Amino acid sequence: MIELVCPAGSLPALKAAVDNGADSVYLGFRDATNARNFAGLNFDEAAIAEGIRYAHQRGRKVLLALNTYPQAANWQLWREAVDRAAGAGIDAIILADPGLMEYARNKHPGLRLHLSVQGSATNYEAINFYHEQFGISRAVLPRVLSMQQVEHLIRHVKTEIEVFGFGSLCVMVEGRCALSSYATGESPNTAGVCSPAKAIRWQQTPKGLESRLNGVLIDRYQPDENASYPTLCKGRFEVEGETYYAIEEPASLNTMELLPQLVQMGVKAIKIEGRQRSPAYVAQVTQAWRSAIDACGDGKRRFATHPSWSAALDRVAEGQQHTLGAYHRKWK
Amino acid sequence: MSMLKLALGPVLYYWPRLTMFEFYQQVAESPVDIVYLGEVVCSRRHELRLPDWLDIAALLRDAGKEVVLSTQALIESGAELTTMRKLCEHRDFLVEANDFGAVRNLEGAGFIAGPHLNIYSEPTLAVLARQGARRWVAPLEMDRTAIATLLKTQPAGMESEVFAWGRMPLAFSARCMTARNRNLPKDDCQFSCIDYPDGLIMDTREQKAFLVLNGIQTQSALCCNLVRVMPEMADMGINVLRISPQSRDTLEVVAAFDKVRRGEWQAPHAAVMLEPLAPGGSCDGFWYGQPGMERVA
């Protein structure tokens, strides 16, 4: 059966994931070594130890994201994080940086390595590079490939493949986007953040409610409109006199209806996005996906998404909208 | 302190075939030392095919330039992989790898590690050096302190390059934002990029130019301009400065950088002279560790 990989930004979220049927939970340390480096989020040593104990007692796995890029001045911090993770008894670490992969491979040969989505490997040649050089066991695919491309890729790699199933949608190739640092000085690659909260200002004006990122107007809302978090690629902008979501609407990715196809083409694991979300989100989404995966099985039986699962996901979706993203060719 | 080399980056836009040939005729006579060639953004662009690129490469090599064939940054389809492999197999010219699939195919080839490989630290640069890289290009968002740190520990014989002029290629997507602007699907984009020789400006709702849509690539609306810090870059030991082509005045920009490196112009004077040639105005924030869109100097 396909593995359900769920996010945890805190110990309560981890427990919610485990209790609601996650096969694996992924998390990060409380620092810039992971791509969800948000205030009040993530795990210190004690919380990780407790999280691993809780998951392992119930036969589940814990994966640690170390998926930012070690920086020139202090790359040793990332190596220490690898050592700490290995010492804590983590089941796998999720890495983006080749130098760090090499270190992990040499220092902890028994430790399982996953290639992070931040590694932006969008083709099998790239994945095979990481596999041959560093022995990665699994690759997480960027959210840019169509179903056909995913299927083609799987036929040409020896590693397991994990894809995103649900959550906030990055329209850019992860690991290849410096838009956030262009506007704010901090990006996912360098600081583990995109459109960081500290750079955001909300202001009520005569023209409407405005969201700004380091002064740049990202969007403006009329009283009847739902305001969303001003991720800079999801605002409304003007191009040739027309105002629209020039890059991407604030929508959530939801691939549940594709589940049988994903299973049949050999996808090993489905990832739920949202380490920055609440334990209630994690519980709700995990439960819906657990039900769907159990109903789907080996992908050969008849499968339809149950209205109650969709309703649960709708309640937590960004902008209350869903998209199949790049899996659906026309989206591109 | 050896003299900085000037490189012309790959043309990031979709220009008509004749424009491209005319452009590179002029480049052949310009003082640039290195020229990067090839389509790095979108495989649907077809004004020039591989034989055309190789003709241009030969022309430039005969003019004494170091020619580098650049691979596409975002490779998804089987056809794109085939194109990438053809470039990598072409051992007559150097190749710039812009993803790790290309790095795999260039093992031992003495390649250029491009700006999209995310080389932020010494151990990663060492991996690429072992694979055969002879020059690395700093990520766009890397600041001078980080670059200086990496230069101190870079492997012997390794060259370094910094993006010094042009609208910055900041992001790649599977989605084509230019086709989206025309409500066209990417697979039937009608090659709309050809209408925007410097990309399609995206303003905020306050009519402030913010980004530039260039097919599947998103660029800064402001032009990175580091001419002012050329002496500092030479002192740091940076070897190569990259100038990114734009539809107008590219060779004037090259000439100004050339005058500064030869000591004929002072850098601050060149900065003043180049300001009107910067599409959308200039910025230098990344160099100083600030938001990229800011102008510090």
Q: How far apart are CA A220 and CA A308, in angstroms?
A: 33
Q: Would you say residue A320 has pLDDT above 60?
A: no
| Rounded Cα gap, residues A253 and A165, in angstroms | 7
User: A-chain residues within 8 Å CB-CB of B78?
Assistant: 152
Sequence-distant (≥ 6) Cβ neighbours of residue B37 within 8 angstroms: B10, B53, B56, B57, B60, B67, B68, B69, B70
pLDDT tens sequence for chain B (297 residues): 479 999 999 999 999 999 999 999 999 999 999 999 999 999 999 999 999 999 999 999 999 999 999 999 999 999 999 999 999 998 899 999 999 999 999 999 999 999 999 999 999 999 999 999 999 999 999 999 999 999 999 999 999 999 999 999 999 998 999 999 999 999 899 999 999 999 999 999 999 999 999 999 999 999 999 999 999 999 999 999 999 999 999 999 999 999 999 999 999 999 999 999 999 999 999 999 999 999 999
Residues 6+ positions from B7 with CB-CB distance below 8 Å:
B32, B33, B34, B35, B36, B161, B240, B241, B242, B243
Reduced to 3 states (helix: H, G, I; strand: E, B; else coil), residue B234 is helix
Using CB atoms, pick whichever of B81, B173, B200 lies closest to residue A239: B200
Q: Choose among A321, A260, A320, A270: nearest CA to A22.
A: A270
| CB-based contact B180 A331, cutoff 8 Å | no
Q: What type of residue is A312?
A: A
Q: Which residue of A has its CA nearest to B180?
A: A246
Measure B51 CA to nearest chain A CA, in Å.
24
pLDDT at residue A163, as a whole number = 96
Nearest CA in chain B to A181: B291
Other Cβ atoms within 10 Å of A104 Cβ, number = 26
Q: In this model, does residue A328 exceed pLDDT 80?
A: no
d(CA B41, CA A28): 33
Q: Which residue of B has its CA nearest to A182?
A: B292
Q: What percent of chain A has pLDDT over 90?
A: 81
pLDDT value for B90: 81
Mean pLDDT (whole number) for A108-135: 97
User: Could you tell me if A267 and A154 are in contact, meaning their C-beta atoms sit under 8 angstroms apart?
Assistant: yes
- pLDDT > 80? residue A108: yes
Number of Cα atoms under 13 Å in the Cβ half of residue A121: 33
Supply the CATH classification number for the domain B5-166+224-288: 3.20.20.70
A215 touches chain B (CB under 8 A): no
Q: Can you give the pTM of this predicted structure?
A: 0.96
pLDDT recorded at residue B290: 98
Residue A268's pLDDT band (cuts 50, 70, 90) = very high
Judge whether residue A298 has pLDDT over 90.
Answer: no
The reported pLDDT for the residue numbered A321 is: 67
Instruction: Tell me what pLDDT residue B212 has.
Output: 98
Calculate the average pLDDT of chain A: 93
Cross-chain Cβ contact B205/A220 below 8 Å = yes
In this complex, the residue of B78, B149, B200 whose CB is nearest that of residue A72 is B149
A226: pLDDT strictly greater than 60: yes
Task: Please give the domain boundaries of chain A with CATH numbers for all domains.
Answer: 3-169+251-331 (3.20.20.70), 179-244 (no CATH)
* pLDDT reported for residue A230: 94
Q: Which residues of A touch B289 (CB under 8 A)?
A: 185
CA nearest B95: which of B149, B57, B140, B144? B57
- Give the model confidence (pLDDT) of A306-317 as tens digits: 999 988 888 887
What Å distances lie between residue B151 and A134, A327, B224, B239, CA to CA? 25, 41, 21, 10
Binned at pLDDT 50, 70 and 90, residue A36 comes out as: confident
pLDDT band at A82 (very low <50, low <70, confident <90, very high): very high
Asked if the C-beta of A286 comes within 8 angstroms of chain B's C-beta atoms, the answer is no
